Amino acid sequence: MKMSNVLYLLKRHFIEKGKFNLTGSIALLLSMALLTFIQWSNLFIIMTFSVGSVTALLTYSMLCSENIAMDYLMIPASTTEKYVVNGILVYVYYNVLFFVTLTLGELLGSWIHELVYGSCNVYVTSSFTLEGFIFLLMWESIMMFGSVYYRKTNAGAKTLIAILIIFMAFVIFDALFISLVYPVDFIESIMNVQFAKEIIASIPDWFGVVIITATFVFFNFMTWLRLKETEA
């Protein structure tokens, strides 16, 4: 991997998307300021996941168009270099950009609310945690894989449907496992939410970190592999 190619791809992205990113950031800042002003609390994490998902899903949107896809695939850079650049953009650049923009928007909305009503509430520090950021990275890795896997049409819808199917399969498998290990039947294990919460609470914290990390690594590898197949 050549650093010169990585820098070239980053420069190319900022030149092509610079105005769009600036416009989108301003719109996002004003939207967050308005929502904070009208006291819609704890929207920071929802907004972060929403814009993070959209950004990840648009990572390989250029592959939807045959002509644009051909131009992208013909860029003199390896699959790994293109993948690394997109990873830097999605996981670092855009997350930092959105975090700063949403924070400024919330502070602006709180300041205006204080000027008008004499009081304000700021929710940033209480609604966003390190655990949430790690989960966001995992979620974005899934969305980015969906972007390159379902590159023809409706990548977002198809990715969410696939996630829903996998989630339902997991719920059924989990309920079956609980019904075999604990003295409850299969239907009760699905419907008993409190019992499921107790089971989840008994799982060590490190196990959740391992699962999230493994998922992140897996989908990043699958994204790289799918992109390599596309270029072949």
Q: Average the pLDDT over each of 29-33, 126-130, 152-156, 183-187 and give the range with the smallest value.
A: 183-187
- Measured at the CA of 135, the angle between CA 155 and CA 43, to 5 degrees, comes to 85
Per-residue model confidence (pLDDT) at position 200: 59
Per-residue tokens: 230:
């596309």
H-type alpha helices, the chain? 3-37, 44-57, 66-73, 79-87, 94-117, 124-127, 130-149, 155-181, 186-191, 193-201, 205-231
Amino acid at the residue 227: L
Q: Domains of the chain: which residue ranges?
A: 3-231
Helix (H, G, I), strand (E, B) or coil at 108: helix
Q: pTM of whole model > 0.85? A: no
The span from the CA of 29 to the CA of 34, in Å, is 9
The span from the CA of 12 to the CA of 20, in Å, is 14
Helix (H, G, I), strand (E, B) or coil at 150: coil
The pLDDT tens digits for 96-109 are 998 899 888 888 88
The span from the CA of 7 to the CA of 49, in Å, is 27
Q: For residue 86, what are the CA distances in angstroms to 26, 112, 220?
A: 23, 37, 11
The pLDDT tens digits for 122-143 are 555 556 677 778 888 999 999 8
Among 224, 232, 194, 229, which Cα is nearest to 86's?
224
